[in-house]
Chain A
Amino acid sequence: MTSVHGTFDRRAFFGGIAGSLGRVALASLLPGLSGCASSPREGASPSAQDRARRGPQFAPRARRVVCLFQSGGMSHVDLFCDKPAIRDHAGEELPPSVRGTQRVTGMTSGQASFPVVPPLEKGRRCGESGLWISDLLPHLQGVADDLCLLQSLHTEAINHDPGITLFNTGNQLPGYASMGSWISYGLGSENSDLPAFLALVSQGSGKNPGQPIFSRLWGNGFLPASHQGVGLRPGRNPVLFLDDPAGLSRAQRRAQLDDLAALNARHAERSGDPETIARIAAYELAFRMQTAVPELVDTRGESAWTLSSYGPDVQRPGSYAANCLLARRLLERGVRFVQLFHRGWDQHVALSRQLPNQCRDVDQASAALLRDLKQRGLLDDTLVVFATEFGRTTFSQGKLGDPSSGRDHHGRCFTIALAGGGVRGGVEYGATDDFAYNIVRDGVHVRDLHATLLHLLGLDHEALTFPFRGLDARLTGVEAARVVHEILV
């Protein structure tokens, strides 16, 4: 981006324009202008000193993040919990002492019976660490020693919209900035030809269509729009409006941008307008993005071995596997935050059919991404977050054994996995009761995860703030949040 504020970046500016206009001529325009190129209306309007303080506040463990978000509520009960009691009591009522008085959604609150459903498949203890993972995820079983399983995530949200909004923006209600925006705001980009934050969406083969998702999940909220996540879409036009209009050659566009730069520079000189200088730079970056993005999404240069490691779906643009490969290509280009959303994990119905499909969608590609990053030496400073908005109930939604039955939402505890980027591999943190229903030890709230994630990036979650609605707003919100130091290397 032009800068972390999307306004003006001296280096990008000279890099792009020098060839067209001449460094000296432009340099003469800059003194006195560059310090205030930020628009006066921009909420932050940081002074030059503030911007100089951008970047990590202490030594980061991770330089970039990829979040593989399993949208809809991935079943911790089926995939990551080795609980003999659940198998032993299959079909019996979930003991009221376990179920307690916690609220359930409007979908099961009317049920008279809450029978325990055993995990759909067997699982095994994997690798040297012995982490238990379901046989529905055979490839992830193979990378268990790189994973840190957080067994005790929890959230107050029990429905998708508030749940997924909380996970991605730190608040159940709309209006807040997404994780990636915060990180773009805090750290800026390491690639001057690509945005700092990209979002990729895929549709799963479990529930189709999956629960709706929202642009607020990668939105800038109250942060400047330059920190918006940019959607990277499959197909010929991966970024909206990227392609020149049909009928126009690149040479024509280049010449046109030179014209624009010359006219704008003249105007900037006469009007004393720093924003116009910044706009020249923005157009140059746009031009470079038009080359950088197609190069990014052109995976023909990937080896056959790499492609096959991600599984056959990698050949299908827009699939989760294809997006995982793109994520690696983005990360190795220094993109700060890559967010995947894979829809379809909402197994209220037909869990026995939908869940294996969902797992097949993501298992091989997620493991391949981890291995690929590792092999390229990127995993050490890339944090991989394999997460979801909540888990699913141990009890059945619908009649036990009915092919139409499934599991309802469960926010009281659920499992996510972290890898790389300063997190210990092959460990498990937090514990739930025998029915994977309540946390018994070391609960991790979603905001604790946010604090930990920022910490790994060298950012203090209490100090990364933005003034909004009378408060110094932060990703972790107003409640106390804790960095989970126990899982850090």
Chain B
Amino acid sequence: MLLRPGWRTLAVCAALAAEVRTQALASRHWAFVPPRQAPVPSVLGEPGLAPIDAFVRARLAAEGLAPSPAADRATLMRRVSLDLVGLPPHADEVLAFVADDSPDAYERLVERLLASPHHAERLALPWLDAARYADTNGFSIDGGRHAWLWRDWVIHAFQTNLPYDRFLVEQLAGDLLPDADDATRTATGFSRNAMITHEGGTIAAENLVNYGVDRTKTFGEAMLGLTLGCAQCHDHKFDPITQRDYYGLFAYFDQTSEPSHGGDGGVNAPPVANVKSVLVTGEEDALRARIADLQARLDAPDPGAIETWEGEQRRRLAARGTDLGLHRATPETIITPNTGSGFAIVDSRFAVVERPMSGLAFDVAMTLPETASPITGLRVVMHPSPDAPAAGWGWGGGKDGKKTFALTHLSLSAGPVRSDQVDLQSLLAIARVTASCWDETDDGRQRPEGVLDTLASTGWMPELAADGPVHLTVTFEAPLPFDARHLTAQLHFGRGGELTARRMEFFAITGADDGSELPPAIEALLRRGGDPDGTRRTAEEQRSVALYFARRAPAMADLRVDLANAQERLAVRTQSFPTMVMDVAAQARPTHVLHRGLYDAPRELVTAATPGALPPFPADAPANRLGLARWVTMPGHPLTARVAVNRVWQMLFGTGLVKTAADFGAQGEAPSHQDLLDWLAVDFVEHGWDLRRLLRQIVTSATYRQDSFASAEALARDPGNRLLARGARFRLPAELVRDQALATSGLLVPWIGGPSVNPYTPGDPWREISHFGSTGATAQSFVQDHGEKLWRRSLYTYWKRTLPPPDLALFDAPNRETSCVERAATNTPLQALVLLNDVTFVEAARAFAQRILHRDGDDRARLAWAFLEATSRTPGADEVDLLARALARERAAFAADPSAAARLLMHGESPRDEALPVIEHAAWAQIAATLLNLSETVMRS
């Protein structure tokens, strides 16, 4: 309801409120009365109905409506696969199921899906929303955190079908259980998913209140189905929750040792546990074998490839320094965000940092000299400081008194007008980076090209043994235009530890850089190897060239990525990592009622207690989170089981039996079938809070299996399908839209669990809104991952709260700042742009086309298969006709412009089967894109 008089607002209804509350108590709002099973109705002419169907049909009969017939088997298979696993069935699976005429074929399918380890990923999705899981701290600077072990715990809980009551107990109070262990402690991360801050100016007491408020609210909405938030400031106007009740609940969550400020520098705010993932995937041996294989391939690179690379390196060495000119630039200004002093321009020549500083970026604006030939690059010279001991270049690290620096990122912009700060919108593209010397470690993290990415872990550090000035030279992709007389360099010394340079000088270069990416020893070997009269390399020398090639050559990059990913994956499976947990502070913290919810207006003291209008607290339960957990999972609790059953129903039907899944209170919507909800809730508890059993019960019901066809009359009668006279139809949740494209295209990497990943995102949207260059916080700049990490299921995508993944946010994924138990399912033009143009989907179309082309058969057979693969439906002849015409048209278009075909096929980093003809592949990629964009594909019906 949109334009309703504001009678339900605080100002007007103070008097009304007390009355409503009294009424609510007196009349016992349905949701506060424990559910009881009404007798299963018998429906005339339909004996032996399962309870779900009996309740639904009795209601339909009363409304004079008839149920729909069962959906066809292909549709049903797609529906139940997407609902239970979150991935569509493949074409051959659909055909096999359709052909299977055994009476229990569907039941066996359901069992197979419930047994899939990926089933747990599907169930985890709504719980991650409810528990506001994210990978960043949320408030203010929104730095990174490590919380994925909790997500692993959730997946594991669903995989092992942990009883739902235990699922809640461990998350609320896993640290307090008599049999507490690492797994149950990990589960308490549920309460630590709250947003936190480390912003210095914020007030400690206020932060702690905010954290507790969020925990209380999340507990209320995710577990109790009550919007407790209202009672933070005043007695709830509609539900029997007083402000005192609210702070009684608040008190349960107010006893942790969590600090008011924390989470800076990518280090989890305490309390933290170092634990191993609870997931058991059994992939360790395969990973070890893969690592050994990748390592072997890196250890023995193809000699031909080495030779090609050596040739290229020699050409570069020969060309280096050609026509090099060095032209001193005149620095004009130097600024840094967090301080106004301690740096200066000296003699119009040097940019100087005058005292130790840590982790900051400096923007140096300079005027470029007039040059006869175009400026091709920039050289940054770091001078030893005359007054520094041992002639070091910087303010930190080093040894024996010699201090050094780490330049972790360099951004440049240039133009006709001077700008004090680098222009993020027009950064100069950099083709090469070299340095006069660097510390060539095995991991290569101190190499000069480390300044190209925004990671603090990589960046140029000179070899400490070097003497005198050291320099780094960047060569631009294209020479500067002649009118670009002003250049601004942002030099980020992001590693902390005062690893900041002291005295910097800048030169424009013309001609070719005289530096090399090669360490001197390798350079010498390459020079010798290229000289026919030179001494032959020893076997050891040859090995060091091969080793260098394996570690650094672009040709080996994919192998290196695969190896790093496999090694990380093995570590994730076998090692301990930090995760945030709950504990009990040594010193008990007093909880007060806060006047109007204000942290600085404490009133009377309260102790932990549950609301008076809800069932009494178990007499033998402790007055802490464990007691609260016991209370919320009492078999007779009026809310907990209903809320859980309703959320499962919502996942399977798009709308819950109670539409307002977060609000079972007086302002929530009444259930469409309270008898059914109550029957299921009681049955759920009586059978051990068994989620898998509940899922099985629902998806095998005739109600679930109905055809979703909606006649105009049916739509007019019941647009929201609340009476359940037909099957449910809704757009897939954001994550499933992407997961489906990955699955259909064959790109999906089915690894379960582990740290979050950063798949394709346009540009660096984080840096545009973050505190990059001003803070030690992580997650300030987006760095895309490679290899397997690009194609993981979307529940593993890194969730930055202040800027969640844009493609998923456009499909209604919440930002996870607060608990969310109901997502919208909108339908917008921006979603069309994602599916048509996002590289994720363009690549998926290319890979899907490749799968199609790898199948035998003529065009029509391939089209029919592809249609079935994408939609789980065999297309009609008219649809194949249309696609065949489209295919012919695309072939003609790309034949007229083969280079366009090649460009289309370059999207995404997955390898292409180069044996496939380009025009043919591109034409099919267009067909694949059309299929992935069909309304039918992004819906589940």
Contacts and interface: CB of A to CB of B under 8 A. Distances in A.
Interface string B205-248: 00000100110000001000001011001001111000000000
A128 interface: no
A22 to B, nearest CB: 15
The size class of the interface chain A forms with chain B is 35 or more
Interface in A220-254: 224-226, 228, 230, 233-235, 237, 239-249, 251-253
B823 interface: yes
Contacts of B839: 245
Given A208-B337, A214-B802, A275-B935, A282 B827 contact: yes
Contact of A201 (B227, B426, B768): B768
B815 A471 contact: no
Q: Which of A212, A215, A316 has the most CB of B within 10 A?
A: A212
A158 B833 CA distance: 40
A161 interface: yes
Interface in A239-291: 239-249, 251-253, 255-256, 259-260, 262-264, 266-268, 270-276, 278-280, 282-283, 285-286, 289-290
Given A248-B904, A276-B939, A106 B201 contact: yes
Nearest to A289: B829
Interface residues of B, number: 143
A141 interface: no
B5 interface: yes
Interface stretch (A30-38, A130-138, A295-303, A367-375): A30-38
Interface string B894-913: 00010011111111000000
Interface in A30-74: 31-33, 35-36, 39-46, 50, 53-54, 57
A174 B817 contact: yes
B827 A463 contact: no
A148 B421 CA distance: 33
Given A57-B3, A225-B810, A272-B714, A403 B340 contact: yes
Interface in A353-410: 353-354, 357, 402-406, 408-409
Contacts of A45: 720
A103 B204 CA distance: 12
Contacts of B203: 103, 105-106, 158
Contacts of B825: 39, 41-42
Interface string A310-321: 001000111000
Contacts of B838: 241
Interface in A459-487: 460, 462-467, 469-472, 474, 478-480
Interface stretch (A1-9, A87-95, A327-335): A1-9
B934 A264 contact: yes
Given A106-B202, A251-B893, A283 B832 contact: yes
A154 to B, nearest CB: 15
Interface in A164-220: 173-175, 185-186, 195, 201, 203, 205, 207-209, 211-216, 219
Contacts of A263: 879, 882, 930, 934
A271 B710 contact: yes
B102 interface: no
Contacts of B842: 245
B827 A2 contact: yes
B812 interface: yes
B1 interface: yes
Contact of A259 (B233, B425, B886): B886
Interface string B818-829: 100011111111
Contacts of A271: 708-710, 729, 936, 941
A269 B836 CA distance: 24
Contacts of B721: 40
A216 B139 CA distance: 11
A132 B795 CA distance: 55
Interface in B799-819: 801-804, 806-807, 809-812, 815, 817-818
Nearest to A479: B10
Contacts of A173: 210, 213-214, 818
Given A159-B140, A237-B762, A259-B882, A463 B3 contact: yes
A249 B900 contact: yes
A32 B714 CA distance: 9
B64 interface: no
B836 A286 contact: yes
A260 B939 CA distance: 15
A160 interface: yes
Contact of B195 (A5, A174, A208): A174
B164 to A, nearest CB: 24
A54 B1 CA distance: 11
Q: Give the one of B668, B719, B941 with max A CB within 10 A.
A: B719
B821 to A, nearest CB: 11
Nearest to B885: A259
Contact of A7 (B138, B713, B827, B941): B827
A350 interface: yes
Interface string B739-750: 000000000000
Nearest to A193: B829
Contacts of B720: 36, 40, 45
B9 A462 contact: yes
A98 interface: no
A349 interface: yes
A107 interface: yes
Given A40-B730, A271-B941, A283-B829, A470 B668 contact: yes
Interface stretch (B26-34, B301-309, B412-420): B412-420
Contacts of A270: 709
A175 B817 contact: yes
B9 A256 contact: no
Contacts of B140: 159-161, 211-212
Contacts of B716: 32, 35-36
B769 interface: yes
Contact of B227 (A186, A207, A469, A474): A469
Contacts of A462: 5-6, 9
Interface stretch (B316-324, B447-455, B541-549, B771-779): B771-779
B655 A40 contact: yes
B930 A256 contact: yes
B194 to A, nearest CB: 11
A470 B227 contact: yes
A174 B237 CA distance: 22
A402 B342 CA distance: 12
B573 interface: no
Contact of A470 (B202, B230, B832): B230
Contact of A282 (B809, B823, B831): B831
A211 B719 contact: no
Contacts of B810: 225, 228
Interface string B916-937: 0000001000100110011110
Contacts of B823: 41
Contacts of A255: 886, 889
Given A212-B802, A470-B238, A474-B6, A349 B730 contact: no
6 contacts: A5-B826, A39-B825, A41-B822, A174-B817, A212-B142, A479-B10
Interface of B: 1-6, 8-11, 138-142, 195, 197, 199-204, 210, 213-214, 221, 227, 229-230, 233, 236-239, 335, 337-341, 363, 415, 417, 419-421, 423-426, 600, 654-655, 660, 662-663, 665-668, 708-716, 719-721, 729-731, 762, 768-774, 801-804, 806-807, 809-812, 815, 817-818, 822-834, 836-839, 842, 876, 878-879, 882-883, 886, 889-890, 893, 897, 900-907, 922, 926, 929-930, 933-936, 939, 941
Given A107-B201, A208-B363, A318-B425, 20 more contacts: A159-B140, A208-B335, A212-B769, A215-B803, A240-B806, A240-B830, A241-B836, A241-B837, A245-B837, A246-B903, A247-B902, A251-B893, A271-B710, A286-B832, A289-B833, A318-B424, A349-B338, A408-B201, A460-B6, A469-B221
6 smallest CB-CB distances across A and B, nearest first, come from: A350-B340, A32-B712, A247-B904, A462-B6, A247-B903, A36-B719
